[in-house]
Amino acid sequence: MKLLNKLAIFCCVAALVAAPVIFVTAQAADSAEKPKNEKKEKKEKKAPIELNNATAAQLQTLKGIDANIARQIMQNRPFRSISELVSKKIISKEAFKEIEKDIITGKYEEPQNKKKQNNNNKNKSSGGGKRRR
């Protein structure tokens, strides 16, 4: 009986000593997995936003770009260079540094309604032609 009591006490003490070690090891394993997942997420790059074609909502996903700045960007199109955001005084140099890796100019495509207006203006003649002498 004394042997059983000693064995029971030994098992309880061993469990109490081992439990924190097992718990800490499990936590360390969990925390070791998290940075790996975070690194994978950081490696996934978003496609750069095209200044000449982006919607206001897309522009507003950029750091520091609100609805007013997005509207100014759209009104000052087309851009030949992303640095024109600073030269046209749409954003500050500091704001530009924050977003320059996330933007490109992209090809400028004139909106359909403007194309129609331009074609209508071209089709109207001003009574030109050859003059008779």
CATH number for the domain that contains residue 95? 1.10.150.320
- For residue 107, pLDDT over 80 is answered with yes
What global pTM score does this model have? 0.52
Query: When comparing pLDDT for 2 and 38, which is higher?
Result: 2
* Per-residue pLDDT, 109: 73
How big is the CA angle at 69 (ends 65 and 73), to the nearest 5 degrees? 110
Strands, E assignment, the chain = 49-50, 103-104
pLDDT band at 125 (very low <50, low <70, confident <90, very high): low
Cα 43 from Cα 40, distance rounded (Å): 5
* Per-residue pLDDT, 69: 96
Q: Within a domain: residue 3? A: no
Q: Within a domain: residue 38? A: no
Give the tens place of pLDDT for each residue, 28-79. 556 655 555 555 555 567 899 999 999 999 999 999 999 999 999 999 999 9
For the chain, the residue count is: 133
Cα 24 from Cα 59, distance rounded (Å): 45
Q: Within a domain: residue 133? A: no
For the chain, how many structural domains are there in total?
1
- For residue 122, pLDDT over 70 is answered with no
Query: When comparing pLDDT for 117 and 70, which is higher?
Result: 70
For 132, the token pair is 């008779």
Provide the residue range defining the domain that includes 75: 49-104
Q: Within a domain: residue 91? A: yes
Q: Within a domain: residue 81? A: yes
Residues in a beta bridge with 103: 49
DSSP code string of 98-131: HHGGGEE-------HHHHHHHHHHHH---S-SPP
Q: Within a domain: residue 56? A: yes
Q: What is the CA radius of gyration of the chain?
A: 33
**Average pLDDT of the segment spanning 105-125:** 65
Q: Within a domain: residue 5? A: no
CB 108 within 8 A of CB 94: no
Q: Within a domain: residue 13? A: no
